[in-house]
Amino acid sequence: MKKAVLSFTALCTLSFSALAKCLPPNQITPKAVEQALSKVAREPKVDSVSPTPIQGLYEVVIETPRGKAVYYIDCSLNYLVSGEIIDINQRKSLTRERMAQLQQEKAKKMLAELEKRMGKEKVEKLKQALGSGIGYIKVVDPAKLSQIDDKGKVVYGNPTAKTTVYVISDPECPFCAKFDAEMLKVLKNRNDVKFEVILFPLPMHKEAEPISQNIICQKDMKKKREILEESFEAIRKRDSQKLKELAKSCDKAKPVLEKNMQIVQELGIRGTPAIILPHGVVISGYIPAEKLNELLDAVK
């Protein structure tokens, strides 16, 4: 509540203090806002600009790697505000309502794209499997994944299976280790799928990059899997010494890893684990084996 009051105070102050410097409404365009924001952000992508109930303040919808975000800018284009507009009389957050609307629009657009790729029947199965979570998935171009260097993959399951699931993973990520255990459970009971783990070490994990390099430099797939499993087991047991033993830098792996990380980032994926199902359906975070089986049956 304190944050909301502070944000409201800041909004009111801006709305009145900036009136004398206001630009004409026809000059407050997405392009003009992008130019103003370029002073503090690299290549900002403004989706829309529209007036708010507060005089002199405009809503700005910005495209970010995680989706659309709502900010506010004053009519002089000098002040950017991050926070909520609270309608006191109606006791509601106009910002949250707008974010919910944007989320619904995103989900509708995403489902329309999926229907083109999968057909209505499979989309309905996917919706049933995900329930309310359907609005939080994203869709990427699966063809982009074909550019991933095979050396940067760790393959599990039937190598000739028609269904391929890509897993963006960090060998030092606790939730990646948790998902790995569920993935192995799935593979014990089905032979119609293979998982291709794409190594994506995060900067926050000290040993993740050298462990990834160690894996990439192994010529034998069995050895690659062995090292990755040892790393995940060390994470589960909180065995930092084992992680250090597995962290062996390898210069030959660096260009492979750099290319893979670039491709993953171009897909808009920033965290791990990220599971990419057939047709480019991306689900972020840990999925238990039972739910993973349900999703696979829905999209294959």
Residue 16 has pLDDT above 60, yes or no: no
Strand pairing category for 57-64 and 92-93: unpaired
Single pTM value for the model = 0.75
pLDDT tens per residue across span 66-114: 778 999 999 999 999 999 999 999 999 999 999 988 888 888 888 888 8
- The percent of residues in the chain predicted with pLDDT above 90, rounded, is 65
Q: Is the CB of residue 207 less than 8 Å from the CB of residue 242? A: no
pLDDT tens per residue across span 165-182: 999 999 999 999 999 999
- Phi first, then psi: give them for residue 221, nearest 5 degrees: -65, -35
Q: Is the CB of residue 212 less than 8 Å from the CB of residue 173? A: no
Residue 29 has pLDDT above 90, yes or no: yes
- Residue 136 has, within 13 A of its CA and on its CB side, a CA count of 8
**Residue 115 tokens, joined:** 């229907």
Provide the β-strand partners of residue 187: none
Q: Distance between CA 117 and CA 112 in Å, rounded?
A: 9
Q: Distance between CA 262 and CA 257 in Å, rounded?
A: 9
Lowest-pLDDT choice from 170-179, 189-198, 262-271: 262-271
Q: Distance between CA 221 and CA 159 in Å, rounded?
A: 11
**Residue 202 tokens, joined:** 């995060």
**Residue 111 tokens, joined:** 């489902």
pLDDT tens per residue across span 128-153: 888 877 767 888 888 888 888 888 89
**Residue 160 tokens, joined:** 């000739």
Pick the CATH number of 116-299 from 3.30.750.24, 3.40.50.300, 3.40.30.10, 3.40.50.80: 3.40.30.10
Every domain of the chain with CATH number 3.40.30.10 lies at 116-299
**Residue 234 tokens, joined:** 């060390």
39 SS3 class: coil
Burial label for 159, CB within 10 Å (0-12, 13-18, 19+), is: exposed
**What is the DSSP code (8-state) at residue 23?**
P
Provide the β-strand partners of residue 169: 199
Q: Distance between CA 209 and CA 206 in Å, rounded?
A: 7
Q: Distance between CA 266 and CA 169 in Å, rounded?
A: 16
